[in-house]
Structure 1
Amino acid sequence: MEHGSDIEKQDEKDSVGIAYATPDASAKYHFDEIDLDRMQQGLKQRHVQMIAIAGTIGTGIFLGSGGALSTAGPLGALIAYALVGTVAYASLCSVGEMATWAPVSGSFPHFAARWVDPALGFAVGWNYFYGQGTSVPVEVSAATILIGYWDDNKSHEPIYLAAILIVMCAINVFGVRYFGESEFIFAIIKLSTIIGLIIVGLVIDLGGGPNHERIGFRYWKNPGAINRAGLVENISTDRFLAILSTIVQAAFSFTGMELVAIAASETENPRRNIAKAVRRVFYRIVIFYILGILIIGMLISYDDPSLLNQTGDAAQSPFVIAMNRAGIKVLPHIVNAAVFTSAFSAGSSYLFCASRVLYGLALRGQAPRFLTYCTKNGLPIYAVLISCSFSLLSFMSINSGAETVFNWFVNLTTVGGFIGWFCINLTYVFFRRGMIAQGFDLKSNIYHSNLQPWLSYWGIFWTIVFILVNGYRVFFAWNTSDFLVAYINIPIILTLYLGYKITKRTKIWKPEQMDFVSGIPTIEETEKPIVPPRTILEKVAAFLF
């Protein structure tokens, strides 16, 4: 790969404000992340695979699916979840391919800075850190509300909240191995719960419940398959708008899928394990999300008044509503316990993601350098502690006066996930173009999708649409606060991007300038030899994980 003279490289690095080491870089301008990156591979294969399979199964599918059904009807919710699922899959395939080529700290913000523009990496990195950080107190508050299903004494809420907060932060402070073990256990609980709910829901629908009432597709006929948004008189247009309203709700159920790629530098055999995880994602989306939404739409009508009861606990779950109607009384408590673990797991995952992205920003000189400090066990302790500080915002949800401000503050990140997916797919387009221009064989990578680059184009198109239509309802009944909540993230990320670009005078990388070598460990450095399973248990584990 041609890089030009040392002087030209020095000038170029000075102008962009970031110095990526090239094989022949001078000592003065040498900056090789692998020299500073002190992460250790504490996540094992079973951790990664279970995180990939069940990492994003949470309150979105257990509780939020009821709101999606109420808004768009059974077919409308199914369409919305399927569409968002394809975009999530495209995004994960894109980041998975880049992460298997470069399993380094910082994940997709690092890739954006390295292969698109350092300013884009700065903007998307800080935007993602902020979004993940503010999502932590949301999940802490949700977990506290779920405990209220058994104890409705409001005076106990601060105690429960503090206990959840301390345990969640402790898991992340103790290190990635503790995080991996906790997520492994939570994933098993979530998998068992969602599979059990789908089976129970199917049994109830076919008349196997205590009341022996066969439901079938009754509610698809009456009141109907697609609800109306109530915004325009034309029925077809109004139903289309109802589906649009559900897209954002559906997106919350898929957020966090990129966790596997973010943890790449802390994963054993990262290339092999990430590749295996990404290949299994399609089946996870179909079985747990699409099938789950289909079953929910068969069990309850979209105009059921119970769906409008936003309690925040198991009573809000469409599965629990269906169970109660069928005469099943014990399972709702089990569901609430499972949803509690899901909320806790989601909060812990958001905290993990926020700290690792912040650490990656610091490695590239786009955050204070002290955040690169790691303990002897490879934990970026300062990045973790700063990320943990966001969880203290959860105490605002207890105070009635601060709750409105808290909710508004958190909702500013509504489109943050869409922006992240957009940047992932955009970065992949640049990555692919640079790889081809420099003569690299894309198919030689441990993971490569034959559907590329069409998957990334699909992801780019739909994330732009999602970002633009996110707050469309405000244009039918204007509300300044709702408009800001829906769209303020767009000027925030543009300000971050343009501010860094103008200040540091960065340039968009040309295909022949992209660095696909420096600071990236080789396959021999990351992948251990495959040990074939010998016993029956080992063969079962190899199949599952």
Structure 2
Amino acid sequence: MDKEWQARKSSQEILETVDSDDRYDFDFHDLDRVQRRLKQRHVQMIAIAGTVGTGLFLGSGNALQVAGPLGALIAYALVGTVAYSSLCCIGEMTTWAPISGTFPHYAARWVDPAFGFAVGWNYFYANATSVPVEISAAVILLTFWDKDASHAAIYTAVIAILVCAINVFGVRYFGESEFFFSIVKLILIISLLLTGLIVDLGGGPDHERIGFKFWINPGAVNRAHLVEDAGADRFLAILNVIIQAAFSFQGMELVCIAASETENPRRNIRKAVRRVFWRIVIFYMLGVLMIGLLVRYDNPALLSRVGTAAQSPFVIAMNAAGIKAFPHVVNAAIFTSAFSAGSSYLFASSRVLYGLSIRGQAPKIFAYTTKNGLPLAAVLATSAFALMAFMTVSAGAETVFNWFVNIVTTGGFIGWFSINLTYVFFHRGMKAQGYDLTKNVYNNPFQPYLAYWGIGWTLFFILMNGYAVFFKFESSLFLTAYINIPIFAALYFGYKFVYKTRIWKPLEMDFVTGIPTVEETEMPPEPPVTVLEKIADVLF
């Protein structure tokens, strides 16, 4: 304890040399007005909602078509490890400091205020722009039942209003909606996996035993048809799917963004992070493996880009097996997934905007909260992005909309990179100041090597995002793939130039100010008594 106290005292003395500058003052505890209204079951299901989505139900079909069953499995497995490393990093920092602003604030607090500014605004506009994307995806899913294009504007308006209303009503309503949508996802993916296994073993209406025959013919790994060498071409096909799979896993960090509004945040975040690894293995890995068993990678139906259940590899497999009821069920479940994603992106971006505001890196108006702790101004400002969904109704505006979406797609990769990089600084500072990292509520024994793994691969994702353009160069595709890099650099160096910030040294990092203690946030756990409570404790 003496060593830890001396480290805190040394750190505080260093901080006192710059406390006249409010950009270095992290004691915003009294300004943070959000309230802890999310319960344990909400947090656990939010973690599932961020893990399983349209990337698995729809995007996995394109992955299978591009790289083949083994290629898709390798790509998703690799990206799963990167997603897990990022979640472990933000989970450990969040259990130390469960406060508003989440990882952009950690970046400002432990790396450089300019870095936190750039990370926060990058994450805000990337997620805020994703809101209308998911609304548009939900509208497209409705065309599975209603082919009348004239109804698109009406559907867009209704879905946009509902997505915004859930967030305006408060975090409790958001938590309940995510709980419901996650239950639907769980039931769907478990049903698909079990049904797929039965069909693969010959239990379908046609009683054909499939096994691994599609891994033999047409093969385990497809070619990208970019170079003549077969081995290199298959590698490029896997690389293509790696980039796609990375998009599918984005959003897992949402559970930690909600920490400042969660009951017993340290205990609940620790439990969520520990269980996410198994959810990745069970849902994503088994899901990708199953579609690789059931569908040939050269199946013409995989080329469909209708955006509905018709392009889902699970539906294609069930139709081939003669099970005709699945398409409608799957489409309905995927619709709830898209709706849930839109609501989640709105929640995440509004909370990051609120965190930037209370720390002086965004206009002060966005720090306004209601008496119930809702950051209303930030929610309303983010909700305005939902109006962009109407651009897809017009053929001319849709092109502009798609351009804008593609420009910010690397925002999620930059977010992961910043999480891993911030953790390296956090780890180094904690060690230098004498803190025992194993005493934190959550600590991963493989750190900081997990963070190094995440840094390396996220940099790879950012740089290779538009690699295909170099085989057939198009300036527009190159621009949309890489323009977010100079935008991020402009945010970082612009803030650094104006405010003359500097990178924190290990002994200068503040791990105390404005951070609630464990006693302030955690209530004693209540052990389950009834059978239902014990089951719920295992599941949630």
Same fold flag (TM > 0.5): yes
Q: Which residue of 2 aligns with 1:26?
A: none
270, 273, 282: which one aligns with 1:278: 273
Distance 2:315 2:431 in 1: 52
Residues 51, 279 of structure 2: 8 Å contact kept = no
Residues 320, 331 of structure 1: 8 Å contact kept = yes
Q: Which residue of 2 aligns with 1:241?
A: 236
Q: In structure 2, what residue type is equivalent to 1:354?
A: S
Equivalences for 1:363-512 in 2 at 5 Å? 363-512=358-507
Distance 1:419 1:405 in 2: 23
Pairing 1:294–2:298 present: no
189, 192, 207: which one aligns with 1:194: 189
Mean Cα deviation higher: 528-537 or 77-86: 528-537
Residues 12, 510 of structure 2: 8 Å contact kept = no
Q: Which residue of 1 aligns with 2:517?
A: 522
Once the two structures are superposed, residues 491-516 of structure 1 have per-residue CA deviations (whole angstroms, 9 ceiling, x without a partner) of 11011000001111000000000000
Q: In structure 2, what residue type is equivalent to 1:419?
A: I
Q: CA deviation at 1:56?
A: 2.9
322, 347, 350: which one aligns with 1:355: 350
219, 223, 230: which one aligns with 1:228: 223
Q: Which residue of 2 aligns with 1:90?
A: 85
12, 16, 29: which one aligns with 2:18: 12
Distance 2:286 2:162 in 1: 33
Q: In structure 2, what residue type is equivalent to 1:12?
A: V
Three-state SS of the structure 2 residue aligned to 1:12 is coil
Distance 1:4 1:256 in 2: 34
Identity of aligned residues (%): 68
Q: Which residue of 1 aligns with 2:4?
A: none
Q: In structure 2, what residue type is equivalent to 1:19?
A: Y
From the superposition, tell whether residues 238 and 5 of structure 1 become closer, same or farther in structure 2 (CA, over 3 Å).
closer
Distance 1:42 1:172 in 2: 13
Three-state SS of the structure 1 residue aligned to 2:377 is helix
115, 118, 126: which one aligns with 2:121: 126
Three-state SS of the structure 1 residue aligned to 2:84 is helix
Once the two structures are superposed, residues 296-315 of structure 1 have per-residue CA deviations (whole angstroms, 9 ceiling, x without a partner) of 11111111110001010000
Q: Which residue of 2 aligns with 1:532?
A: 527
Q: CA deviation at 1:109?
A: 0.3
Distance 1:308 1:472 in 2: 21
Residues 105, 356 of structure 1: 8 Å contact kept = yes
Once the two structures are superposed, residues 54-86 of structure 1 have per-residue CA deviations (whole angstroms, 9 ceiling, x without a partner) of 333111100011011111111110010000000
From the superposition, tell whether residues 150 and 452 of structure 1 become closer, same or farther in structure 2 (CA, over 3 Å).
same
Q: In structure 2, what residue type is equivalent to 1:143?
A: A
Q: CA deviation at 1:207?
A: 1.2
Three-state SS of the structure 2 residue aligned to 1:263 is helix
Residues 29, 515 of structure 2: 8 Å contact kept = yes
18, 30, 34: which one aligns with 1:35: 30
How many residues in Structure 1 have an aligned counterpart in Structure 2?
Answer: 533
Residues 56, 346 of structure 1: 8 Å contact kept = no
Distance 2:73 2:524 in 1: 43
59, 62, 71: which one aligns with 2:57: 62
203, 208, 220: which one aligns with 2:203: 208
Q: CA RMSD in A?
A: 1.2
Q: Which residue of 2 aligns with 1:306?
A: 301
Residues 104, 119 of structure 2: 8 Å contact kept = yes
Distance 2:538 2:76 in 1: 28
Q: CA deviation at 1:532?
A: 1.3
Three-state SS of the structure 1 residue aligned to 2:403 is helix
Q: CA deviation at 1:19?
A: 3.0
Q: CA deviation at 1:325?
A: 0.8
Distance 1:170 1:466 in 2: 35
From the superposition, tell whether residues 70 and 13 of structure 1 become closer, same or farther in structure 2 (CA, over 3 Å).
farther
Q: CA deviation at 1:5?
A: 9.0
Structure 1 spans left out of the alignment, 5+ residues: 22-31
Three-state SS of the structure 2 residue aligned to 1:390 is helix
Distance 2:460 2:250 in 1: 17
Pairing 1:167–2:162 present: yes
Q: CA deviation at 1:239?
A: 0.4
Q: CA deviation at 1:319?
A: 0.4
Distance 2:20 2:215 in 1: 62
Q: CA deviation at 1:12?
A: 2.7
Mean Cα deviation higher: 246-255 or 447-456: 246-255
Q: In structure 2, what residue type is equivalent to 1:527?
A: E
Q: CA deviation at 1:3?
A: 5.3
Distance 2:12 2:77 in 1: 51
Distance 1:458 1:4 in 2: 29
Q: In structure 1, what residue type is equivalent to 2:325?
A: V
Residues 54, 191 of structure 1: 8 Å contact kept = no
Distance 1:115 1:139 in 2: 33
Q: In structure 2, what residue type is equivalent to 1:77?
A: A
Once the two structures are superposed, residues 321-351 of structure 1 have per-residue CA deviations (whole angstroms, 9 ceiling, x without a partner) of 1111111111110000000000000000000
Q: Which residue of 2 aligns with 1:73?
A: 68
Q: CA deviation at 1:53?
A: 2.5
Equivalences for 1:306-345 in 2 at 5 Å? 306-345=301-340
Q: CA deviation at 1:201?
A: 1.1
Q: In structure 1, what residue type is equivalent to 2:305?
A: Q
Distance 2:82 2:11 in 1: 39
Q: CA deviation at 1:2?
A: 3.8
Mean Cα deviation higher: 178-187 or 367-376: 367-376
From the superposition, tell whether residues 499 and 205 of structure 1 become closer, same or farther in structure 2 (CA, over 3 Å).
same
40, 44, 53: which one aligns with 2:39: 44
Distance 1:430 1:391 in 2: 36
Residues 43, 180 of structure 1: 8 Å contact kept = yes
Once the two structures are superposed, residues 252-284 of structure 1 have per-residue CA deviations (whole angstroms, 9 ceiling, x without a partner) of 211100001100000000000000000001100
Distance 1:256 1:119 in 2: 24
Distance 2:484 2:222 in 1: 30
The TM-score with structure 1 as length reference comes to 0.96
Three-state SS of the structure 1 residue aligned to 2:252 is coil
Residues 146, 340 of structure 1: 8 Å contact kept = yes
Structure 2 spans left out of the alignment, 5+ residues: 1-7
